[in-house]
Amino acid sequence: MFEPTRQAALTRLAAVQPDAYARTRNALDGAVTGLSPYLTHGLLSLREVYAAVHARQPLDAKHKFVFELGWRAYYRHVWAHLGPGLHQSLHPGLLPDAAYVAQMPADVLEARSGVAAIDLAVRTLYTTGYLHNHARMWLASYLVHLRRVHWHTAAQWMLGHLLDGDVASNHLSWQWVAGTGSTKPYLFNADNVAKYAPAPWHSPGTVIDTSYEALDLLARSASAPGHGVDGRAADGCAQGRADDHPMGAGLSPPALLATPPDALWSPPDASAVAGRDVWLQHPWSLGAVPQGLGDDALVVGVGLAECHAQTPWSTRRWDFVGAGLQAQTSALWWATAPQLAEALRGARAVGWQAEPHADAALASVQALLAAGKGAAVITAHAVPCLFEPVPKHCQSFAQWWRQTRIAL
């Protein structure tokens, strides 16, 4: 479905129809762009996407397509100000944290909850590494408000499977659904699914086949038992078992791995960098290497253990990143920050693309190199922004939107 190449990214970009997107984006079969994996992993930038689409069809700043680009930039704005605080609730939710469990329910992981919209969402996530945004919201709302899974537990799980898993967009979207990052929770019911999804997703006769008022009461009720993590039914919510599920037996959930699963990666090779300029491609910079590197420059793909210790990935996502890096580099290195710094001490210069997923680990590399004798010249290259930076932390998208503008 998604090829980790620049050409595949450009092909998708050329197919974007902004007006059709604005009209149909809420439908699972609508004209969504499919650009998010390429944005997350550095094969495209927001600036490039806007420029290409605007050149074909001039876009008003209030166009829905531009707003969606803005939301991605706003989430990064929030992340820049909160840092690790992004992993904490922005404000209290409907219930105390103790009311939510820190484990994913087995029946959801195995796509046998008995709610078609949920089970198909999980199956689609596993088999493609992608989910329509509406399906993400349904899955998030079901897990948090009906199954009482803590939003962060579920957000980390989804992040590992999504090819476009971006910490800022993913976690802040989950908080919006949970009500810890918004003024009210996001709820959905079977009528909403029937309106926006094909027939196989429809879920009549299930826990979501009720009114929004009833769902809101369930979400706010401290006494409602919710679901157990083993998938056993509680208050009539869970319905599916592996032996009677209409989709057949449940799935085996793909593992989430904190290290790459294949032999493409090797330890850093200090002998290869001696006296040379080195450019580091990391998992969030799969695009073309910068122009102007010397003829003897070494381009290496790097994975840093510190970046993945708390955010493991599925094999599908590791394969996507590994193939993308392999196409642009001469070797793939897997290391801790101290190991990489030690290997790079003999380099003449070291550069990489700044990116918040990798910045903390690469800053450690930079500090270790700077502390050594004869340290290399170290440069973190910034990606040009589409929207002008807003220095002060904005508590809402509307506040941020009023203070920024497109900067081409």
Distance CA 26, CA 256 (A): 29
How does pLDDT run across 268-296, given as a tens digit for each residue? 999 999 999 999 999 999 998 888 888 89
Measuring CA to CA, which residue among 81, 70, 7 is closest to residue 44?
A: 7
Distance CA 195, CA 208 (A): 14
Whether the pLDDT of residue 392 is over 60: the answer is: yes
How does pLDDT run across 220-262, given as a tens digit for each residue? 998 755 554 443 344 434 444 434 455 556 899 999 999 999 8
Provide the pLDDT for residue 226. Answer: 58
| pLDDT, mean of residues 120-142 | 98
Exposed e or buried b per residue across 234-269, where buried means at least 16 C-beta atoms within 10 angstroms of its C-beta: eeebbbbeeeebeeeebbebbebeeebeeebbeebe
Confidence bin at 55 (pLDDT 50/70/90): very high
Which residue has better confidence, 73 or 291? 73
Distance CA 35, CA 45 (A): 10
Provide the pLDDT for residue 225. Answer: 53
Residue 279: beta bridge partners?
299, 351
| pLDDT, mean of residues 140-168 | 98
| pLDDT, mean of residues 13-31 | 98
Q: What are phi and psi of 24, to 5 degrees?
A: -120, 5
How does pLDDT run across 366-380, given as a tens digit for each residue? 999 888 765 667 888
Proportion of the chain above pLDDT 90, given as a percent: 86
- What is the value of pTM for the model shown? 0.93
| pLDDT, mean of residues 324-336 | 96
The pLDDT mean for the chain works out to 92
Provide the pLDDT for residue 262. Answer: 84
Measuring CA to CA, which residue among 141, 134, 135 is closest to residue 186?
A: 141
How does pLDDT run across 37-52, given as a tens digit for each residue? 999 999 999 999 999 9
Whether the pLDDT of residue 1 is over 90: the answer is: no
Measuring CA to CA, which residue among 49, 63, 64 is closest to residue 14?
A: 49
Whether the pLDDT of residue 363 is over 80: the answer is: yes
Measuring CA to CA, which residue among 65, 70, 40 is closest to residue 396?
A: 70
